[in-house]
């Protein structure tokens, strides 16, 4: 389902509520969740998992009527990472390690 990560069209949606919580863990606890080539972002020796809870209202292709959309709740979690130094890239971002969509 890799093709669903970035749809080929614009999407219109409303987020009714978003809650995000971050938890700190030692790097060795997070390493199994992160691919080779990624470095875990650390602060004072700790990496972070962020859990996001999102109530999404009527996502649909942009320009389509609201009734086509379907409300759902999404719980996702990610580890904050950067590419390893060997790649020479200066980007940072979350490595998504899971998510669960639930119908409302």
Q: What is the pLDDT of residues 30-67, one digit of tens each?
A: 999 988 888 899 999 999 999 999 998 888 888 899 88
Cα dist from 92 to 24, 55, 56, 66, 70, whole Å: 17, 26, 26, 35, 32
pLDDT category of residue 15 using cuts at 50, 70 and 90: confident
**Is a pLDDT exceeding 70 seen at residue 87?**
no
Which range is most confident: 12-16, 33-37, 51-55, 68-72?
Answer: 51-55
Q: Which domains does the chain have, with CATH numbers?
A: 2-103 (2.40.400.10)
Q: What pLDDT does 97 receive?
A: 82
Structure tokens at 59: 């996502």
- Asked if 22 and 49 touch (Cβ cutoff 8 Å), the reply is yes
Is pTM beyond 0.85? Reply is: no
């Amino acid at each position: 389902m890799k093709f669903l990560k970035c749809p080929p069209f614009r999407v219109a949606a409303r987020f009714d509520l978003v809650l995000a919580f971050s938890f700190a863990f030692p790097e060795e606890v997070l390493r199994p969740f992160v691919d080779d080539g990624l470095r875990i972002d650390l602060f004072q020796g700790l990496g972070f998992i962020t859990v996001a809870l999102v109530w999404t209202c009527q996502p649909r292709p942009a320009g389509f009527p609201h009734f086509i959309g379907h409300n759902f709740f999404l719980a996702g979690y990610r580890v904050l990472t950067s590419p390893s130094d060997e790649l020479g890239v200066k980007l940072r971002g979350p490595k998504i390690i899971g998510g669960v969509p639930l119908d409302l």
